[in-house]
Amino acid sequence: MEDELIKQTWDSVLTILKGTLLATTYETWVLPLVPHSYEDNCFVLLTGQNLAIQILEKNRKEISKAFTQVCSKDVYFKVIYDENLHKQIEKDKQKARKEEEKEFIKKLENRIESRYDNLKQMQSSCNLNLKYKFDNFVVGSNNKFAYAVAKAVANDPGKQYNPLFIYGGSGLGKTHLLQAIGHDILFSKPKLKVKYIKAEEFINDMVNSIAKGIDKTGKKDNKKMNEFRDKYRNVDVLLVDDIQLIEGKARTEEEMFNTFESLHNSGRQIVFTSDRSPDKFENTPERLKTRFQMGLLADIQVPDIETRMAILKKLSEDNNIKMPNEVIEFLAGVYNKNIRELEGAFNTVSAYTSINEIPVSVEVVKKIIKYNDKRKTVTIDGIIDIVAGYYNISVEDIKSTNRAAKTAYARQIAIYLAKEMTTESLPYIGECFNRKHPTIIYSHEKVKTDIQKDIHLSQEIKELTDIIND
């Protein structure tokens, strides 16, 4: 069948399905399908969404009926996942997000007559997440103090609590507060220059500046390093996330110390976040540790069950999802380590129940999250065994000094899973992998960051997690 005729046939089928399928199913899963071919009574459609095949199979009867009506005979349709189409969808989503950010900035410009050059620059260079604001931060007994001092810093930067050092475990809201400070300052004081960075970005930027400052003859040129220093010192507010990552990196620590001195001595605000307090930095020069401690330290603890329930209720309200109190209480009881895993559970439950069009109940939730009162205990040795088998390498290689790309990749994933799936301390995890404490932190943070931008890595982590939990 000619391409034009194939397209016409599919358009006719779409017209029927629009009136017979649920609007969410039609718009989310059917409308994005691309007609590919029609041969031997089989109509082939392409999708760039992994879940589409499963969901459309549940609607096979309605779709087949539409094909029969259009073609005046029974037609078998087949949906095939297409990687190129998936990449295009992701590209379109990214474009849509950029448009959303542009629209957000446009609204800000209408709200305040002042120039927003700083905000635009910050959005483009620092990836400031628009959802991290004070008004959607759930305050509880675990973070009340940190929230209050963060607000105080945002209201009057550089005047008190300078530097502010916020610390606590992974997924407790440190980044949320840090970026909320940046947003609040840009709303109320748009003329101030605000810079948000992750410590890893500072490290990479410095290394690149050093490398670019050496020509082919080995001669050094300080121009690139001067540009690097100006980038971080010619600001009014510097927000540094995960400062613990610079520990043990002498040159980076020296640059951070000098940056700190330059900003602090001129009355400009500095805020750090870390997974632990400065006194736990074992390989950091004393002069830098004392700078971290000279302002105000604010820790964030694991949220109590009331706060966790409040977070789930707010998520339900913000996403217009009805979640019974007994389900909220159940999830808050199960996911008690950090906010990130709590939000992840909420997203999983809401997506599954919405896609399958079933009401939310405790029993349904237990099946979705594969909850079992008698779940086996996850051990680090067990994780290493499974990861080694998954990547077809030996346990000895993971624990060795072997730096081959495949081995190093598997080792970092095993370390990440050990940190996420057990309650063991970082020093103990280091012993299990024959690695020092900073290496464990670096590996965990690297995988955690890469998951956000690498869909294949994210899928591998999910598969491994399911295998480990089974």
Q: What is the mean pLDDT of each run of 10 residues along the chain (470 residues)?
A: 83 91 85 89 88 86 91 90 86 79 66 48 56 86 89 91 90 90 86 89 86 64 82 91 90 92 93 90 89 90 82 86 87 80 86 84 85 67 88 88 88 90 79 86 88 82 82
Whether residue 151 is found in the same domain as residue 282: yes
**CA angle centred on 145, ends 427 and 253, rounded to 5°:** 45
Give the pLDDT confidence score for residue 422 in this predicted structure.
76
CATH number of residue 275's parent domain = 3.40.50.300
- Interaxial angle between packed helices 3-20 and 60-71, expressed in degrees from 0 to 180 and rounded to the nearest 10: 130
In-domain check, residue 92: no
Provide the H-helix boundaries in 156-281: 174-188, 199-212, 223-233, 250-265
Angstrom distance (rounded) from CA 314 to CA 318: 6
Altogether, the residues listed in the chain come to a count of: 470
Last residue of a domain, one of 246, 281, 300: 300
Residues 459 and 326 in one domain: no
Q: For residues 418 and 440, what is the distance between their CA atoms, to the nearest angstrom? A: 10
Pair 222, 264: CB distance under 8 Å: no
Stated as kind and residue range, the H or E segment containing 344 is helix 339-355
Asked if 131 and 228 sit in the same domain, the reply is: yes
d(CA 455, CA 451): 7
Does residue 406 lie within any of the structural domains?
A: yes
Residues 156 and 251 in one domain: yes
158 shares its domain with 293: yes
Contact 153, 271 (CB under 8 A): yes
> For the whole model, what pTM was predicted?
0.54
Structural domain total, the chain = 4
Asked if 413 and 460 count as a contact pair (C-beta separation under 8 A), the reply is yes
Beta strands in 55-188 (DSSP E): 76-81, 164-168
Q: Same structural domain for residues 394 and 354? A: no
91 within domain boundaries: no
Amino acid at 225: M
Give the residue numbers spanning the domain of 77.
3-81
The verdict on 352 and 421 lying in the same domain is no
